Amino acid sequence: MSLLLPALLDPSDHPALRAGGRTLTYRDLLAVATAHAERIRTLDRVAVHAAPGPHTAVAVVSALLAGVPAVPLNPKLGERELAHVVGDAKPAAVLAAPGVELGAVAGRVGRIDIDLDARSAAPLPAEHAAAATALIVYTSGTTGPPKGAVLSRGAIAANLDALADAWAWTGGDVLAHALPLFHVHGLVLGVLGPLRRGGTLHHLPALDAAGLAAAVDGGATMVFGVPTQYHRLADQLDTDPAAARTIGRARLLVSGSAALTAVDHERIQRATGLAVRERYGLTESLILTAARADEEPEPGTVGRPLAGTEVRLVPVDGDPDLGTVEARGPGLFDGYLDRPDATAATRTPDGWFATGDIGRWTPSGALALVGRKAIDLIKSGGYKIGAGEIENALLEHPGVAEAAVFGTPDDDLGERVVAVVVAAGERPAAQELIDHVATLLSPHKRPRDVRFVDVLPRNDMGKVLKSRLRGG
């Protein structure tokens, strides 16, 4: 077996996972994952129905033991997205919790139920190469359907070790979070992170004041969340000082996937006494920068580059203070699955990965992100949402002639999805269009606001001028 999860080499009775009312020790995790690894070891690739709970963690660990690339599936994917991901990745089977409805598309590739009570004492498989693929994580671009980012075992291991250095992360830590388990934040950092250290993951149903306080009472030392969760948590802590005091006994709060506002930084610190650390990365790069546990964070920044990772800023339009963020290091993805053209588009001529974000360095050497090179990538509720696929979905409604989608600032979500529509004849109801998108795509991609106009502003080349629609 690979040393990606070294705690499984000599498993103990230390808790590895607490989720969905179940607790699995490292001894349990090895035995149940080995049982399922034996079933899939001859397969080329598997998908994982990544619903919250222990079944997803066991499925991914099983695939890692077997050396079989795993494709996490968002359990809320719309029919079209599910068809695309399954058709693109071509998994031989879908691993899922018993009784979960997978949908017609996923069902056609077969399923293997994860039995948490299965056990095997078979010897560990041979070690897998660091260059071998561990995960293929689908990420939405600014246009078109999602692409599968291929992440190697070595990239994941190197990135988690660099984060352990930044956050003093050890086997004595218990990580609490309520993140989805189908993307880098919740799965790579949130599941594989504690397992690589030999610590414990406590996956919560929600990141609310009562649940998080109970988790800290039960030993949680670290908390991961997205800005939307911290914003809602701050609202609750304003009226629950007892929970705030309890949560303040944790040693580290980390926020990611979008920027945490200065107001929420201040509210969380005032309530708990803890300063939130932010970090920055993409599916394709894993984590690039992070505020360290042994340094006071600067609100509005995402820390300095991790050990072993280089980050540079390429000046934008001659501005010496701003630059497009580019990176290189051991955590970079191997490319998009079967998309060499798209992969090449992310690389600069001298081999750096172009993130598409714009940032500046602060005097302390921390990175502050100031915008997105492509305004069509919306960050809402911790999700990255491509405007183009929402526009395409809207255009399939008979009442829509033209559509433009963008994000606008939102105190709760970070950004809210806004759709500007030119009707084809009689205007459809806004809620009808919202429901239409939610049916075709994931619910979090639905517009929160639908506005109707007679004509979309365009430049001489026919490109929609979204800056005008946004009021910029």
* Angle made by CA atoms 157, 162, 167, in degrees to the nearest 5: 125
Task: Output the pLDDT for position 338.
Answer: 97
**Does the structure show a pLDDT above 90 at 372?**
no
CATH of the domain at 19: 3.40.50.12780
Task: Output the pLDDT for position 463.
Answer: 66
Closest CA to 283 of 370, 364, 342, 220: 342
Q: Does residue 275 share a domain with residue 382?
A: no
Of 279, 309, 337, the residue at which a domain comes to its end is 279
Q: Does some domain include residue 452?
A: yes
Q: Does some domain include residue 351?
A: no
CATH of the domain at 456: 3.30.300.30
**Does the structure show a pLDDT above 80 at 241?**
yes
Instruction: Compute the distance between CA of residue 175 and CA of residue 284 in angstroms, rounded to an integer.
Output: 24
Q: Does residue 406 share a domain with residue 273?
A: no
**Does the structure show a pLDDT above 70 at 459?**
no
- % residues pLDDT > 90 (the chain): 75
Q: Does residue 386 share a domain with residue 259?
A: no
Of 226, 246, 279, the residue at which a domain comes to its end is 279
Q: Does residue 246 share a domain with residue 122?
A: yes
The alpha carbon of 376 is separated from its chain's Cα centroid by a whole number of angstroms, namely 18
Give the DSSP H/E element, type plus range, for residue 341: helix 340-345
Q: Does some domain include residue 241?
A: yes
pLDDT digits (tens, 9 = 90+) for 412-432: 999 999 999 999 999 999 999
What's the whole-number mean pLDDT along residues 112-138? 93
**Does the structure show a pLDDT above 90 at 371?**
no
Instruction: Compute the distance between CA of residue 425 and CA of residue 420 in angstroms, rounded to an integer.
Output: 15
**Does the structure show a pLDDT above 60 at 258?**
yes
What's the whole-number mean pLDDT along residues 336-344? 96
Q: Does residue 400 share a domain with residue 265?
A: no
Q: Does some domain include residue 61?
A: yes
Task: Output the pLDDT for position 11.
Answer: 95
Count Cβ neighbours within 10 Å for each residue of 301-333 and write b for 16 or more, e otherwise. Answer: bbbbbbeebebebeebeeeeebbbbbbbbbbbb
Q: Does residue 387 share a domain with residue 275?
A: no
Q: Does residue 228 share a domain with residue 116?
A: yes
Q: Which residue has the higher pLDDT, 468 or 352?
A: 352
**Does the structure show a pLDDT above 50 at 461?**
no
- Amino acid identity, position 163: L
If you average pLDDT over every residue of the chain, what do you get?
A: 92
Would you state the structure tokens that stand for residue 176, as one six-digit string? 């609490």
pLDDT digits (tens, 9 = 90+) for 4-31: 999 999 999 999 999 999 999 999 999 9
**Does the structure show a pLDDT above 80 at 142?**
no
State the pLDDT confidence band at 383, using cuts at 50, 70 and 90: confident
Q: Does some domain include residue 421?
A: yes
Q: What pTM did the predictor assign? A: 0.85
State the pLDDT confidence band at 354, using cuts at 50, 70 and 90: very high
Q: Which residue has the higher pLDDT, 300 or 449?
A: 449
Of 235, 250, 279, the residue at which a domain comes to its end is 279
pLDDT digits (tens, 9 = 90+) for 58-71: 999 999 999 999 99
**Does the structure show a pLDDT above 60 at 449?**
yes
**Does the structure show a pLDDT above 70 at 328?**
yes
**Does the structure show a pLDDT above 80 at 386?**
no
Q: Does some domain include residue 304?
A: no
Q: Does some domain include residue 101?
A: yes
Q: Does some domain include residue 334?
A: no
Q: Which residue has the higher pLDDT, 106 or 72?
A: 72
Instruction: Compute the distance between CA of residue 85 and CA of residue 106 in angstroms, rounded to an integer.
Output: 10
**Does the structure show a pLDDT above 60 at 55?**
yes
Task: Output the pLDDT for position 300.
Answer: 87
Domain count, the chain: 2
Task: Output the pLDDT for position 1.
Answer: 40
Task: Output the pLDDT for position 358.
Answer: 85
Burial of 21 (0-12, 13-18, 19+ CB in 10 A): exposed
- Amino acid identity, position 160: L
Task: Output the pLDDT for position 317.
Answer: 65
Q: Which residue has the higher pLDDT, 465 or 133?
A: 133
State the pLDDT confidence band at 397, using cuts at 50, 70 and 90: very high
What's the whole-number mean pLDDT along residues 165-183? 97
Domain limits for position 442: 377-470
pLDDT digits (tens, 9 = 90+) for 73-123: 999 888 888 999 999 999 999 999 999 998 877 767 999 999 999 999 998
